[in-house]
Amino acid sequence: MDLRKAMDLELMIIRCLKKSIIINKIFTINWSQSLSPYTNYITPNQLDSSGLLNININIGFDTTAQADAGTLKNIAKEKQKLQDNVDACCKTYQVACGDIVKFHFDYNQKNAPAGGYTNAPGGTSLDPNAGGISGVAGGINVLVTGSPINYGGSDEGETTGAGNIGLNTGGLGLSGNLLSHELGHRGGYKGGNIDNKTHTNDPSKIMVGGTFAIGGTPGSGIDLCWCNAIASLAK
């Protein structure tokens, strides 16, 4: 069994243990050495509501974004980077331990508005199309589009006040952290030092503001506030 499979197996076992704890209220856990690095930083008292849950993402497309091999490959990269970032939260801050990222796809394309999406008066918001995505109840709706997204500036991604997310195909898969960045906003990130604390000027961080981002794309660095924001999205 390779290391990745061993880690996946142990996380599945831990998730089952949590269910047993909830059902039985009292459960004795015998922790032993294994291949998984999680044994170095998960302890029994950390098996609580901050971990071992699902982060459900409902992915939809409009008529300017095809669910072709290239786009799906970039979406898969975003998913893997998000999972890697969640796992790093556990290792670094003991937050979101064992939380699993799950994508659910709606291939029924929505009609893209002429001129793209905007919050300007008279414009078309992301919300009608993103809000119409079918998927898991309580999941976060993410619309993939080739249309411009302009919410006060040209954006690769945007999180609306209603909690829907739009991702432009031009930004998908570059660093792989575009979705991680927008989910930080969705979770209420306020750990930055610019833009009313919603962004940082550190280009190495996931929550870097667009004007400071290298190549216009987020970095990979997590911080505790981002981790707590992401953990709040798990169900």
Both 160 and 63 in one domain: the answer is: yes
The whole domain housing 33 covers: 1-47
Both 76 and 148 in one domain: the answer is: yes
Cβ–Cβ contacts within 10 Å for residue 54, how many? 16
Which of 10-19, 106-115, 180-189 is predicted least confidently? 10-19
Which pLDDT tens digit goes with each residue over 174-224?
Answer: 999 999 999 999 999 999 999 999 999 999 999 999 888 887 789 889 999
Both 8 and 98 in one domain: the answer is: no
What backbone phi and psi angles, to 5 degrees, belong to 127? -60, -40
- At 75, which helix (H) or strand (E)? helix 69-93
Distances 80 to 101, 133, 175, 177 between C-alpha atoms, Å: 8, 22, 11, 9
What is the chain's mean pLDDT, rounded?
83
The pLDDT of residue 14: 53
Which pLDDT tens digit goes with each residue over 112-121?
Answer: 999 999 998 8
The pLDDT of residue 154: 74
Cβ atoms of residues 164 and 130 within 8 Å: yes
Both 180 and 148 in one domain: the answer is: yes
Both 63 and 83 in one domain: the answer is: yes
Both 121 and 86 in one domain: the answer is: yes
| Number of domains within the chain | 2
The pLDDT of residue 50: 47
Both 89 and 205 in one domain: the answer is: yes
Cβ atoms of residues 154 and 119 within 8 Å: no
In terms of Cα–Cα distance, which of 95, 88, 98 is closest to 14? 98
Both 69 and 12 in one domain: the answer is: no
In this structure, what CATH number is given to the domain that contains residue 179?
3.40.390.10
